[in-house]
Chain A
């Protein structure tokens, strides 16, 4: 994720004060036209989507082998959303990532071994066995992990945005939720709070057509994106299976938030191609829906697009997938080697002894990276 010199020349250097008073230069891709995505960014977008698919497939295998306690949840078919949206953030921005958004964790810097170890309840998991599956967030990478009450994190993200605004920092909080969450009062409380205080927040709504088994028409009478206006901020509908469309919508929303313009609700249309959990046979989904959405697989589509529009060769695309597969295999071995936690840890950590700041995440979009990476 090294910066290319040519791009640096066209980058706008922006300064941003942080809470600790330090000033970071944050070069940014030119936004005179296009998405500002460079060739290496496009390779990254494919890489992270492929990594999410491969890691989740591997996780599902581990689940079927009986190595994963509880159930198994993935975001198959939704990879473009978490990857595209997270890719627009800067290191100092913050995220609350949900259960169909593994790609966002990878963009921020979580490695697949820590994800797989978390599923298996191993000490090498992000939560060290304290919480399972995708209920994690790496505080060192600027993330606060989800709870099972799915709309809740929208309020936590709004609160982080409130802190940024209170301190006059040009930082952004982003979170995800499914369309199912929009039926819950906490979601409305979050949208309303963000609208009233014009918080620098980006809300990414993944409409994957079903809340567990409940279809859209039994979830809401008005498409949730239309509600954004009533909370006083824009709602944008994008093709959630097109990673660059998601990225572009997120980039604009992040810019808007950073410039003091307030929140944006992005609704990404997609389809949950697997069950709510691995225990769910999806008998409630009409077969033609699978056919329709299979033809729009975000990874297949992006591979084709990279070759058709961005000069990637078939070999390059194949090598990205192969590299990812090898890497995920290595990560799976590492996760399996990770020991189970010591039972004595079960009663530790209920209370904090001190507050420590969250760390900054990896932000590989062209010229953004965490400070230590920039220095390196």
Chain B
């Protein structure tokens, strides 16, 4: 399952010893909870986050023949996480294109194809591997419109996040990397319906969009997803839970952590799901901060210069006098994501950490 140029994959029988990696374990565990994302499931109704991404992608490919998928193992194999399962059969090899294990090739060729009118949806097998395609993303894709007026309508799907012993190269949350590259839009849905709707909007957007899909949500989050065409505008946050005493501003996996913590605590807490990190919904952030007067920013990504830092700066610059307490952050510390479960749990924000942070801030 591991991929990217950094690791060679064994040839031959996929079931052969040595083929498996730690990545298969969480999937096997997850599959016990909810059903596998499959073509038959992807037609609206209650879907997993993973099936909703598949559904949104399939819907856009049906709607617009210029949408293509490009990535490693996405064709007959259906992708490492099976997002494109069945796509090769439906859309053919000319639209579901297996790429060599070369991330710059995936991103760079997508730039050229996008400039020429295709709408490539690139799959990084793991978000971590965008590092191997970073040059094309930040130097070519991000700057082309500013420099030359060439629009680059492409999406880079980035299976991100940890929590399953993926180790330092299969667990990262690289969103802050992209936020320092003007010209890239960045979205990170937390719910199944948003995953579908934001993906559709990302595909239709004329700019390069980094689409962070948290692997921990793939099969653990389910929800009602509108059938057929469904879009969610980029740049709009969503109030996941209304409250009046404190706001947790989060995205991705941290949204669920915040909702669970809030429910267990039974406190009057608002949870604002950013959904888009660029454009950032500053109005929603400031509105909620002013309303509750207490802000906790939470994300799984590391701390320094992360989204939390940006939100904190925004709130203190523009809503300082409405605050009743210093803004607080709950994030991973500035360390690589370790492999061993106790180490990883020590790094990634846990439910108890969230409860404690909310509780302390409420009592301030």
Contact = CB atoms under 8 A, between A and B. Distances in A.
Interface in B86-142: 94-95, 97, 99-100, 102, 104-105, 107-118, 120, 135-136, 139-140
B147 A135 contact: yes
A160 B112 contact: yes
Contact of B105 (A137, A193, A350): A193
B183 A159 contact: no
A158 B97 CA distance: 14
A267 to B, nearest CB: 22
Interface stretch (A83-91, A99-107, A161-169, A312-320): A161-169
B183 A144 contact: no
B66 to A, nearest CB: 9
Contacts of A127: 147-148
Given A159-B108, A166-B68, A189-B100, A353 B206 contact: yes
Contacts, number: 148
B112 A130 contact: no
A158 B147 contact: no
A23 to B, nearest CB: 17
A56 B296 CA distance: 58
Interface stretch (B12-20, B149-157, B166-174): B149-157
A173 B112 contact: yes
B207 interface: yes
A186 interface: yes
Contacts of A160: 112-113, 115-116
Contacts of A156: 108-109, 111-112, 115, 140
B146 A350 contact: yes
A75 to B, nearest CB: 20
Interface in B193-210: 206-207
Given A147-B143, A193-B105, A193-B109, A354 B135 contact: no
B244 interface: no
A149 interface: yes
Nearest to A96: B112
Contacts of A295: none
Nearest to A157: B112
Contacts of B185: 351
Contacts of A19: 116-117
Nearest to A191: B105
Given A144-B150, A163-B116, A355 B108 contact: no
Interface in B59-78: 68
Contacts of B120: 159
A131 B108 contact: no
B116 A145 contact: no
Nearest to A186: B104
A357 interface: yes
A221 interface: no
A339 interface: no
A164 B117 CA distance: 10
B68 A152 contact: no
Contacts of B99: 193
Nearest to A154: B108
Interface residues of B, number: 42
Contacts of A356: 151
A190 interface: yes
Contacts of A192: 100, 102, 105
B100 A147 contact: no
Contacts of B94: 165-166
B148 A158 contact: no
Contacts of B45: none
A358 interface: yes
Interface in A123-181: 126-127, 130-131, 135-137, 139, 144-145, 147-149, 152-166, 173
A94 interface: yes
A356 to B, nearest CB: 7
B102 A358 contact: no
B95 to A, nearest CB: 7
A192 B117 CA distance: 23
Contacts of A186: 104-105, 108, 135-136
B148 A189 contact: no
Given A186-B135, A193-B105, A159 B145 contact: no
B325 interface: no
A147 B136 CA distance: 10
A218 interface: no
B332 to A, nearest CB: 29
A352 to B, nearest CB: 4
A350 B145 contact: yes
Contact of A352 (B102, B112, B206): B206
A49 B323 CA distance: 67
Contacts of B118: 162-163, 166
A155 B147 contact: no
A161 B148 contact: no
B362 interface: no
A349 interface: yes
A196 interface: yes
Contacts of B150: 137, 139, 144, 358
Nearest to B135: A149
Nearest to B108: A155
Most buried by B among A130, A156, A353: A156
Contacts of A162: 97, 109, 112-113, 118
Given A166-B118, A196-B100, A351-B207, A152 B108 contact: yes
Given A127-B148, A162-B109, A166-B95, A193 B102 contact: yes
A70 interface: no
A185 interface: yes
B206 A159 contact: no
Contacts of B95: 166
Contact of A145 (B117, B147, B207): B147
B207 A352 contact: yes
Contacts of B110: 159
28 contacts: A127-B147, A130-B146, A130-B147, A139-B149, A144-B112, A147-B143, A152-B140, A153-B140, A155-B136, A158-B109, A160-B112, A160-B113, A160-B116, A162-B109, A162-B112, A163-B116, A163-B117, A164-B116, A186-B135, A189-B108, A192-B100, A349-B145, A349-B149, A351-B145, A351-B206, A353-B206, A354-B206, A358-B150
Given A160-B116, A352-B149, 19 more contacts: A19-B117, A135-B147, A139-B148, A139-B149, A144-B148, A152-B136, A152-B140, A155-B111, A155-B112, A156-B111, A157-B112, A158-B105, A159-B109, A163-B113, A166-B94, A166-B113, A186-B108, A189-B108, A350-B145
10 closest Cβ contacts across the A-B interface?
A159-B112, A155-B108, A159-B109, A352-B151, A163-B116, A189-B105, A160-B112, A156-B112, A189-B102, A352-B206
